[in-house]
């Protein structure tokens, strides 16, 4: 079937063989035709390309001999972030399943670099672009992404145009709190990772989840038991000391990330309060280099980075460009040793 | 000069214009000629390609209009490792300086995936490949890399062929120990990250540096003060407890990574031994999410990941393929609060 290919066919050869325009052939071979090319035409073009042995570039080569095509991956800092590298891992694993490679660019959040990066990705004929953020927020998606299938990963498009894949922060916050309620706690504090007024989705939605779980169990949310924090261990340290100085101490703390929980551990150990005997703690993120190594190991909600990366590439490959709904990925609870029933207290 | 380019020249056009074979043109345009093509011929081919407006693929497009070319980056797990993402960041930053993009692939150490990955990178006409390891070791470099400029990053080529960029573990181990000697310590223990018999370069060379610094100051190395460990916090925890149970306690510990130091902190805090008042500690790696957040902050030697990534790309771009010497990158000392002078001891 492919033996008459050695001279190398052009797009014009394919157009002549199929009876369509060269522009249509180009759209199909570069995977950019979308709904503009009928499925039957697309099949005929691809068939002719295979039969004629068309191979002007690497993308077309994929058709011929199974070598990998490219998916663009633009991150604001994702590959250098200590905790979101698994996004890349998940995205790449899914891409490999379809014989695709990731062409990865970190922009450090620089808009001009971003424009250049996207232009370069387009020149390398990527079939689509995953636009990934280091932390979950609402952001302005570059205009250039309108020209190509794209998915926003770990953030939401402020304009509501691009399809987004984000963690289910609300359900995670509720599950963390429910774990403490189920253990018998009633006086449950929360040390958050940012002020609610910041609008940071992780802070706002995890807090809503916390309130929802309390309400669902008929418990009263005490505003003084919510400390806003900043996501660093120092804030967890100070927050825990502040909570322990209260007349009515909480018996449990939901720390909205593991680094905050780490600081709370440091504070409680310093003042001789035992975890979980005296105070139970649940974290969030399930950082693989931190949560298992605290003493005791920290019960936490996992940020499903690998799954999010996998899902983003899957959405690209399935051609779901242009849908505006954000897809929520569940954050599984990982139990370790930081939660137990509250002890009987002297009044 | 480029106005007669619109129809698109082929490699045969260039070969005819220059008076060389099409194979030679292919070698030059794909940056794979190495020493097989004379420099003068290479210049004439590139000149003709520019003049005729040759552009069969993205790599050639680079020549014509300044869009980014590609450097391959194959990592065994580098992008998903929490601590070596900065290698990618440094490599990419250096690549950008020359208008190049990184095409990144993680193989998870799977040899078959590695072969496929390298083949795919070649099909995308990368100008060279950085082959990066998550941790420093001696490894067998894939044969396919012999066909293209390549640099081994954070590991050494067992066959001694490929140019390598590695951290200067020996000098780092010596500097860590010297920092404790300079503070006045004489009884300095070391908790290592692997048995010396493993041959792991970081464990062996950091230990040699430790011995060298002791010897240089006329101090006796006590074999019983070297604990082999495994690089995890638990080993640091157990090692520190073991050292503190000795009749003649050390007044200082060089922990051969920060995670080991973290475990030592946990142990010492549990038994009421203060850092640095009772025992001084120096770590290694300077993990940005760990060392600054221990209480007190951990003095550590930085693994220069970004600089190593930068340097590897620089070597590729400078065309130093084929040299076998390993280039050592210095590990800077970062001082925090974990070292002080030893206190007067009761005998």
Q: Read off the pLDDT of residues A202-216 as tens digits, 9 standing for 90 and up.
A: 999 999 999 999 999
Q: Of B44, B65, B86, at which residue does a domain stop? A: B65
Q: Which residue has the tokens 């309060």?
A: A273
Pick left, alpha or beta for residue B3 (phi over 0 → left; psi -120 to 50 → alpha; otherwise beta).
Answer: alpha
Nearest CA in chain B to A82: B82
| A162 shares its domain with A173 | no
- CATH number of the domain where residue A35 is located: 1.10.260.40
CB neighbour list of residue B328: distance below 8 Å, 6 or more residues apart = B166, B167, B168, B171
- For A229: left if phi > 0, alpha if psi spans -120 to 50, otherwise beta; the answer is left
What is this model's ipTM?
0.74
Amino acid A81: pLDDT: 59
Q: Both B216 and B294 in a single domain?
A: yes
Based on the domain organization, do B251 and B192 belong to the same domain?
yes
Same domain, A247 and A129: no
Chain B: give the shortest CA distance to residue A292, in Å.
10
Whether A299 and A310 map to the same domain: the answer is no
B143 has pLDDT over 90? no
Q: What is the CATH number of the domain that holds A163?
A: 3.40.50.2300
Q: Are residues B217 and B182 in the same domain?
A: yes
Quick check: is B346 in a domain?
Answer: no
Residue B21 has pLDDT above 90, yes or no: no
Please count the CA atoms within 13 angstroms of the CA of A257 that sit on its side-chain side.
19
Q: Which of A25, A42, A65 is the last residue of a domain?
A: A65
Higher pLDDT, B295 or B29: B295
Model confidence at B324, in pLDDT bands (50, 70, 90)? low
Identity of the residue in B58, B106, B293 whose CB atom sits nearest the CB atom of A124: B58
B92 assigned to some structural domain: yes
Tell whether the model's pLDDT for residue B35 goes beyond 90: no
Kindly state the average pLDDT of the residues B106-113.
Answer: 73
Burial of B85 by CB count in 10 Å (0-12 exposed, 13-18 middle, 19+ buried)?
A: buried
Q: What is the three-class DSSP state of B218?
A: coil
A87 and A194 together in one domain: no
- Picking from A67, A104, A287, the nearest residue to B119 by CB comes out as A67
Q: Is residue B128 part of a domain?
A: yes
Interface test with B, best of A56, A104, A265, A313 (most B CBs within 10 A): A104
> How do beta strands A252-255 and B100-106 pair?
unpaired
A163 lies in some domain? yes
**Predicted TM-score (pTM) of this structure:** 0.77
pLDDT for res A82: 60
Within a domain: A263: yes
Same domain, B157 and B267: no
Beta-carbon contacts of residue B157 (< 8 Å; ≥ 6 apart): B138, B139, B140, B141, B164, B324
Segment B212-233 shows an average pLDDT of: 96
Q: Which of A37, A65, A93 is the last residue of a domain?
A: A65
Residues A300/A284, Cβ–Cβ less than 8 Å: yes
Residues A214 and A267 in one domain: yes
Neighbour order of strands in the sheet with A299-302: A226-227, A188-191, A252-255, A280-285, A299-302, A333-334
Domain residues for A126?
69-167+305-329
Best of B234, B257, B289 to disrupt the A interface (most A CBs within 10 Å) is B289
Identify whether residues A264 and A196 lie together within a single domain.
yes
- Whole-angstrom CA distances from A326 to A25, A156, A212, A315, A330 are 33, 7, 21, 12, 13
What's the mean pLDDT in B186-210? 97
Q: Give pLDDT, residue A146.
A: 82
Please say if the pLDDT value at position B318 is more than 70: yes
Q: Pick from A149, A152, A339: which is nearest to A253 by CA?
A: A339
- If asked whether residues B90 and B115 sit together in one domain, one would say yes
Would you call A41 helix, strand, or coil by DSSP?
helix
Q: Which of A120, A134, A267, A304 to mutate to test the interface with B (most CBs of B within 10 A)?
A: A120
Task: Say how many domains are in chain A.
Answer: 3
* CB contacts, 8 Å: A263 with chain B: 293
pLDDT digits (tens, 9 = 90+) for B49-100: 878 776 544 333 343 344 568 899 888 775 555 666 788 888 988 888 888 8
Q: Quick check: is B199 in a domain?
A: yes
The answer to whether the beta carbons of residues B282 and B236 sit under 8 Å apart is no
What is the mean pLDDT of each successive set of 10 residues along chain A, which is 347 residues long? 41 81 73 68 84 55 52 76 73 85 77 78 86 85 85 88 92 98 98 96 97 97 95 97 95 97 96 96 94 97 94 87 75 98 69
What pLDDT does B347 receive?
41
Residues B324 and B310 in one domain: yes
Collapsed DSSP state (helix, strand, coil) of residue A308: helix
Q: How close B222 gets to chain A, by Cα (Å)? A: 30
């Amino acid at each position: 079937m492919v033996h008459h290919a050695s001279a190398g066919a052009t797009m014009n050869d394919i157009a002549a063989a199929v009876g369509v325009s060269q522009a249509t052939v180009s759209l199909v071979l570069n995977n950019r035709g979308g709904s503009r090319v009928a499925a039957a035409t697309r099949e005929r073009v691809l068939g002719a390309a295979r039969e004629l042995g068309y191979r002007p570039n690497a993308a077309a080569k994929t058709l011929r001999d199974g070598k990998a095509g490219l998916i663009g991956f633009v991150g604001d800092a994702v590959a250098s972030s200590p905790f979101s590298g698994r996004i890349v891992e998940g995205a790449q694993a899914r891409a490999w399943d379809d014989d695709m490679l990731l062409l990865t660019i970190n922009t450090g959040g620089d808009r001009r670099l971003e424009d250049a990066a996207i232009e370069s990705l387009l020149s390398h004929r990527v079939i689509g672009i995953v636009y990934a953020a280091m932390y979950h927020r609402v952001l302005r998606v570059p205009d250039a992404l309108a020209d190509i299938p794209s998915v926003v990963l770990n953030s939401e498009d402020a304009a509501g145009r691009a399809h987004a894949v984000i963690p289910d922060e609300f359900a995670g916050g509720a599950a963390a709190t429910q774990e403490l309620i189920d253990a018998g706690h009633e006086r449950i504090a929360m040390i958050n990772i940012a002020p609610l007024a910041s609008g940071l989705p992780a802070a706002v939605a995890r807090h809503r989840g916390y309130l929802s779980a309390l309400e669902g169990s008929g418990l009263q949310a005490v505003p003084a038991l919510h400390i806003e924090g900043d996501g660093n261990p120092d804030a967890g340290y100070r927050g825990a000391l502040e909570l322990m100085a209260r007349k009515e101490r909480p018996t449990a703390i939901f720390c909205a990330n593991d680094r905050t929980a780490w600081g709370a551990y440091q504070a409680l150990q310093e003042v001789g309060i035992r975890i979980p005997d005296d105070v139970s703690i649940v974290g969030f993120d399930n950082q693989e280099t931190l949560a298992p190594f605290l003493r005791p190991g920290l019960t936490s909600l996992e940020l499903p980075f690998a799954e999010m990366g996998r899902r983003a590439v899957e959405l690209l490959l399935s051609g779901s460009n242009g849908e505006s709904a954000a897809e929520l990925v569940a954050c599984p609870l990982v139990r370790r040793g930081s939660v137990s029933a509250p002890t009987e207290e002297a009044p």
